[in-house]
Amino acid sequence: MTIRALVFDVFGTLVDWRSGIALEAERILGPGLEGGAFADAWRARYQPSLEPIRTGQRPWADLDILHAESLDEVLAQFGIAGIDGRAKRDLVLAWHRLDAWPEVSDALARLRGRHWLAPLSNAPVRLAVSLARHNGWSFDAVFGGEFSRDYKPKAALYRDAVAAFGFDASQTLMVAAHSGDLAAAASHGLATAHIARPRENGPAGGETVPGVPVTYAATDLADLARQLGC
Amino acid sequence: MTIRALVFDVFGTLVDWRSGIALEAERILGPGLEGGAFADAWRARYQPSLEPIRTGQRPWADLDILHAESLDEVLAQFGIAGIDGRAKRDLVLAWHRLDAWPEVSDALARLRGRHWLAPLSNAPVRLAVSLARHNGWSFDAVFGGEFSRDYKPKAALYRDAVAAFGFDASQTLMVAAHSGDLAAAASHGLATAHIARPRENGPAGGETVPGVPVTYAATDLADLARQLGC
């Protein structure tokens, strides 16, 4: 079945969140900080912060709100006090200006000639659009957390994206650097592409090969574009 | 207050639905048909078809479904029988390949350099993306009926679009050729721009000036871009 649309995980798959957050944390909080460790600690609170929403214990709240809450916890964990609201806001917005992995922007432009493209991420619309404009990407729509008012890997996110673009699920390719995301997408009939991101977590590495069966396994997004004939 | 984002009505404001539907109806149903009258009759059933969804009597259904239902009524009204499912589907999809008014594509490209842009239409995502690709437009996101699961002029459509882009409502400009749409947007704090479309309804004309107070009144989208300094 020909792939007609690609939907993308964003953090880790398209952008290097760890390097970006580390640099911004050092800039905003002071050079004494070990930015990489700060970024890791902040990201470690990401999945737990989504869980009360996935289970329905908490109404949907966007990632800026969740990032702001977990930032306070990470600052306390690092023993950093006296950070004013403006600096905290600047840190939360650091997630809006992350740089793409080097090959991503060119590869997306090539893919867009023959496919419909959208982020399918937990990022809210404003964050996804900010990253797109920061990195020069053009998408056809924005799916994900705010579109479906829930968080991956809940079924609604995958199903709503497939329904909205309107191609068969098997013609809709979920692109991610995380096997769990791809397993969830596959369970709803989507085709899947794994992108190796061996440096996503810095010294702790990242997924170099998929841990689940996938339709495509790629070394980076340019490799996926080549495999799709773009 | 500086305008940061523009959100657009689509049918009539960006695309010439009447000419497009008239030509496609004549092509698909045969040259004996008066295409303009057919387009008018189909469009006349548009607002009534939305009403049961706005009032909550019917669950949300996308415009392709509503167009297909009203097409059967219009075919009956015109005494046209024996149209097969494939031809009907082709007619419903004629709404996905409407041409823009002549100045629209250039004006959107100019506006996009300094503003975030999205359709805020009753069109579902697939229809909005099809029109964008058909006419060479790039948007940052797609709002409207499918994003909010309701139909204009219900409050959710305007409020969800403002919240998703995340600018103040007064920095978010609703652009439409229809005063009712602009009045609803203004009631939720959005800035408003009226676009004159004197030929929207063919011989029956269209709105040449706004019937309500607006932030900007423009002769076409290029004029609005000029007024915004683009």
- Please tell me which of the candidates A126, A132, A140 has its beta carbon nearest to residue B165: A126
How far apart, in whole angstroms, are the C-alpha atoms of residue A11 and residue A195? 12
Give the burial string for B66-85 (b: 16+ CB within 10 Å, else e). Answer: bbeebbeebbeebeeeeeee
Helix (H), strand (E) counts: chain B: 11, 6
CA distance A4 to chain B (A): 13
Percent of chain A residues topping a pLDDT of 70: 100
pLDDT tens per residue across span B185-200: 999 999 999 999 999 9
Same domain, B111 and B213: yes
Strand ranges in chain B using DSSP code E only, listed in sequence order: 5-8, 116-121, 143-144, 172-176, 191-195, 216-218
Kindly indicate the confidence band of residue B66, based on its pLDDT and cuts at 50, 70 and 90. Answer: very high
Q: Are A146 and A65 in contact (CB under 8 A)?
A: no
pLDDT at site A157: 98
pLDDT tens per residue across span B147-177: 999 999 999 999 999 999 999 999 999 999 9
pLDDT at site B31: 77
The reply to whether B150 touches chain A by the CB within 8 Å rule is: no
- Please tell me which of the candidates B124, B133, B141 has its beta carbon nearest to residue A142: B141
Contact A164 B125 (CB under 8 A): yes
pLDDT tens per residue across span A9-60: 999 999 999 999 999 999 999 979 999 999 999 999 999 999 999 999 999 9
What's the per-residue H, E or C state across A113-156? CCCEEEEEECCCHHHHHHHHHHHCCCCCCCEEHHHHCCCCCCHH
Query: Which is nearest to B4 in space by CA: B117, B83, B133?
Result: B117
Same domain, A10 and A102: yes
CA distance A29 to chain B (A): 26
Same domain, A104 and A200: yes
Contact B129 A116 (CB under 8 A): yes
CA distance B166 to chain A (A): 6
Burial of B185 (0-12, 13-18, 19+ CB in 10 A): buried
The reply to whether B129 touches chain A by the CB within 8 Å rule is: yes
Same domain, B195 and B118: yes
Give residues with Cβ within 8 angstroms of B85, minimum separation 6. none
pLDDT tens per residue across span B31-59: 799 999 999 999 999 999 999 999 999 99
Kindly indicate the confidence band of residue A174, based on its pLDDT and cuts at 50, 70 and 90. Answer: very high
Reported ipTM: the value is 0.96
Total number of residues shown for chain A:
230
- Segment B103-124 mean pLDDT: 98
The reply to whether A147 touches chain B by the CB within 8 Å rule is: yes
Same domain, A39 and A120: no
Same domain, B184 and B138: yes
Kindly indicate the confidence band of residue B80, based on its pLDDT and cuts at 50, 70 and 90. Answer: very high
Chain A contacts of B138, Cβ < 8 Å? 138
- Among the candidates A46, A71, A94, a domain finishes at A94
How far apart, in whole angstroms, are the C-alpha atoms of residue B195 and residue A81? 53
CA distances from A97 to A15, B67, B86 (A): 9, 41, 47
Is the full-model pTM beyond 0.95? yes
The reply to whether A119 touches chain B by the CB within 8 Å rule is: no
Q: Are A191 and A215 in contact (CB under 8 A)?
A: yes
The CATH number of residue A77's host domain is 1.10.150.240
Assess whether pLDDT exceeds 80 at residue B21.
yes
Same domain, A67 and A151: no
How far apart, in whole angstroms, are the C-alpha atoms of residue B114 and residue A176? 31
Query: Which is nearest to B105 in space by CA: B217, B224, B223, B221?
Result: B221
pLDDT at site B131: 98
Assess whether pLDDT exceeds 80 at residue B204.
yes
Q: What are phi and psi of B8, to 5 degrees?
A: -120, 130
End-to-end Cα, chain B, rounded Å:
16
Assess whether pLDDT exceeds 80 at residue A130.
yes
Contact A142 B146 (CB under 8 A): no
- Among the candidates B27, B61, B94, a domain finishes at B94
Helix (H), strand (E) counts: chain A: 11, 6
**How confident is the prediction for chain B on average, in pLDDT?**
97
- Segment A187-199 mean pLDDT: 98
- Which one-letter amino acid corresponds to residue B154? K
The CATH number of residue A223's host domain is 3.40.50.1000
Same domain, B127 and B163: yes
Same domain, B159 and B57: no
Assess whether pLDDT exceeds 90 at residue B1.
no
A-B Cβ pairs (cutoff 8 Å, strict): 44
- Token representation of residue A35: 């930015």
Same domain, A9 and A24: no
- Segment A56-81 mean pLDDT: 97
Chain B contacts of A139, Cβ < 8 Å? 140
Q: What are phi and psi of A100, to 5 degrees?
A: -70, 155
Same domain, A122 and A67: no
Number of domains comprising chain A: 2
pLDDT at site B157: 98
pLDDT at site A187: 98
The reply to whether B101 touches chain A by the CB within 8 Å rule is: no
How far apart, in whole angstroms, are the C-alpha atoms of residue B70 and residue A92? 48
Residue A88 belongs to domain spanning: 17-94
Assess whether pLDDT exceeds 80 at residue A1.
no
pLDDT at site A31: 77
- Among the candidates B94, B115, B130, a domain finishes at B94
**Taking CA atoms, what residue in B is nearest to A118?**
B141
Same domain, B149 and B193: yes
Q: Are B111 and B1 in contact (CB under 8 A)?
A: no
pLDDT at site B81: 94
